[in-house]
DNA sequence: CAATTAATCAATCGAGTGATTAAATAACAA
DNA sequence: TTGTTATTTAATCACTCGATTGATTAATTG
């Protein structure tokens, strides 16, 4: 099963970097140091390899999201979500790339499963939490909950997508301490921007 | 030259939707109702077609950005930037997709030219404007200017990238009036979140 | 008008694609 | 050991890819 794992790892890196169509099965096999026929043996097809990789990679994220956002009694749920989400993306640079490629693609390959997960455990739940904070008077009532959730996700995800050009475009040195400063900055901007 | 223009239009739509590698020259030619050899005739290669299309599509955006952000004497420059940028992206749905594909790609095809433009006329300039607003006391001084610019761009761009899944994930109906509400919401969240 | 250039087409080249097979090897149970 | 299954390899199939050619037509020019 070591071959299978190496194929998944190589696939994750290459597909995240270059996208599905740009990566050949031979390239994945070579990168994994394995015979190309192994893809057919373990996953049936290139498509099968991609889907297995995507499920493998994104399932933990979705699951963690669900746990955090399900905490109904925790009044800091939104803060926790923001921190966990950004730290997870920061620690796994391929995640935002894979997610975004799936989202952009018209006929996304795992759109059905993944988007459904994002909706039920992600955006929808986050919107509910924001509505609850509004009811509790900690977020101003005239803010549209869905738009507010969208803004929060935007600020949480986009910086990692833009990471490859952050240095050049925004003149920032992305090194030690950057993630912490980014999270703190985002947290403050969001909560001050939505306070009553 | 009508053939050339039709090739550019078809290329823009297909490349934005599916990405460079996933689109064959034959697909572009067919979509344009033209012989595949015309790509070689007018653009030399698939690469040439792509670069011509990208320059054609993104140049106006970069130029408009430059004009807005160059307005040194206009204290509403940031507001103007936000509005113009979001309305432009809203009116040209392929823009955010093309931009993002370029940004994500490790060896982006026009990275050199495009990122340089974004840096000199976009992010860098925006950061300067934020610093000026801080000096004027309209944005709190303890906010990192670069991170603040990044947050603003995040909220301005990401919603359009996420458009294909906005309805499902955030439970929003994206129809008439959405763009206006989104811009107003973003504007308020940003300026209240950064006020002293 | 003839001569030249621009534009378009059908056809095809070699390279690389995803996929598959039959044979060889490794791992393991009896 | 032997028999059986799981894994791996080399080789190759049918196909699509980007690119290009030579021939042909349309437009422009002298």
Q: Do B119 and A159 touch (CB under 8 A)?
A: no
pLDDT in tens, A61-112: 888 888 888 877 777 999 999 999 999 999 999 999 998 998 888 665 565 6
CA distances to A9, A26, A27, A42, B96 from A37, in Å: 17, 9, 12, 9, 38
For helices B178-194 and A145-161, give the axis angle rounded to 10 degrees.
70
Rounded Cα gap, residues A69 and B170, in angstroms? 14
Q: How far is the CA of B54 from the CAs of A2, B27, B91, B139, in angstroms? A: 42, 18, 17, 35
DSSP single-letter state for residue A144: -
| Pairwise CA distance, residues A132 & B126, whole Å | 35
Paired tokens of A25: 């099965």
Contact list, B115 vs chain A (CB under 8 Å): 165, 168-169
Among B61-65, B115-119, B160-164, the range scoring the smallest mean pLDDT is: B115-119
Q: At A102, is the secondary structure helix, strand, or coil? A: helix
CB contact under 8 A, B115 and A146: no
Tell me whether residues B106 and A17 touch, CB distance under 8 A.
yes
From first CA to last CA, the distance across chain B in angstroms is 55
Token pair for residue A86? Answer: 């950004």
- Through-space separation of residue A41 CA and nucleotide D3 C1' in angstroms: 24
Take residue A115 and report the two structure tokens written for it: 């988007």
Question: CA-CA distance, A83 to A188, in Å (whole number)?
Answer: 12
User: Distances from the Cα of B156 to the Cαs of A127, A186, B67, B97, B166, in angstroms?
Assistant: 19, 15, 18, 14, 15
Say yes or no: A149 contacts chain B, CB-CB below 8 A.
yes
Question: Quick one: pLDDT band at residue B117, thresholds 50, 70, 90?
Answer: confident
Q: Of B155, B33, B159, nearest to B95 (Cα)?
A: B159
Which window residues (100-139, chain B) lie with Cβ within 7 Å of strand D?
A: none
Chain B residues touching residue A106 (CB < 8 angstroms): 17-18, 164
C-alpha B181, offset from chain centre: 19
C30 C1' to A1 CA distance, Å: 25
- Whether pLDDT at B12 is above 80: yes
* Dist CA A156 CA A65 (whole Å): 13
Supply A16's token pair. Answer: 């995240």
Instruction: Round to whole Å and give the CA distance between B147 and A1.
Output: 44
Average pLDDT across chain B, whole number: 91
pLDDT in tens, chain A (196 residues): 689 999 999 999 999 999 999 999 999 999 999 999 999 999 999 999 999 999 999 898 888 888 888 877 777 999 999 999 999 999 999 999 998 998 888 665 565 677 788 788 888 899 999 999 999 999 999 999 999 999 999 999 999 999 988 998 998 888 889 999 999 999 999 999 999 8
CA distance B42 to B52: 10
**How big is chain B by its Cα radius of gyration, in Å?**
19
- A115 — phi, psi (to 5°)? -65, -35
Distance CA A53, CA A14 (A): 11
Higher pLDDT, B25 or A71: B25
The pTM score is: 0.91
Which chain B residues are within 8 Å of A189, Cβ to Cβ? 143, 148, 151, 190, 193-194
Q: Residue A153: list chain B partners with CB under 8 A.
A: 158, 162
> Which of A 80-99 lie inside 8 A of B, CB atoms?
97
pLDDT tens, position by position, B63-112 = 888 888 887 778 799 999 999 999 999 999 999 999 899 888 866 556 56
Contact B93, B161 (CB under 8 A): no
Give the position of tokens 């989104």: B182
Residue B151 to residue A124, Cβ atoms within 8 A: no
Please give the nucleotide, over all strands, whose C1' is closest to the CA of residue B21. D17
Of B103, B181, B192, the CB nearest to A162: B103
Positions in chain C where some atom is under 7 Å from a protein CB: 7-11, 16-22
Of residues B141, B122, B142, the one with CA closest to residue A181: B142
CB contact under 8 Å between A170 and B149, yes or no, is yes
What nucleotides of chain D have any atom within 7 angstroms of a protein Cβ? 7-11, 16-22
pLDDT of residue B111: 59
CA B108 – CA B101 distance, rounded (Å):
8
């Amino acid at each position: 099963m070591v071959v299978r794992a190496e194929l998944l790892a190589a696939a994750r890196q290459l597909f995240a970097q270059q996208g599905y169509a740009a990566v050949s099965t031979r390239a994945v096999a070579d990168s994994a140091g394995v015979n190309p026929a192994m893809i057919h043996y373990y996953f049936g097809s290139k498509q099968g390899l991609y889907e297995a990789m995507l499920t493998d990679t994104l399932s933990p994220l979705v699951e963690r999201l669900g746990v955090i956002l399900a905490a109904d009694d925790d009044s800091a749920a939104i803060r926790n979500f923001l921190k966990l989400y950004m730290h997870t993306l920061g620690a796994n640079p391929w995640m935002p790339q894979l997610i975004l490629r799936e989202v952009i693609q018209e006929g996304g390959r795992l759109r059905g499963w993944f988007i459904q997960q994002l909706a039920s455990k992600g955006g929808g739940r986050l919107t509910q939490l924001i509505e609850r904070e509004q009811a509790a008077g900690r977020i101003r009532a005239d803010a549209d909950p869905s738009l507010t959730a969208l803004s929060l996700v935007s600020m949480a995800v986009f910086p990692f997508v833009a990471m490859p050009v952050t240095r050049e475009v925004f003149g920032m040195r992305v090194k030690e301490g950057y993630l912490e400063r980014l999270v703190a900055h985002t947290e403050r901007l969001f909560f001050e921007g939505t306070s009553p």
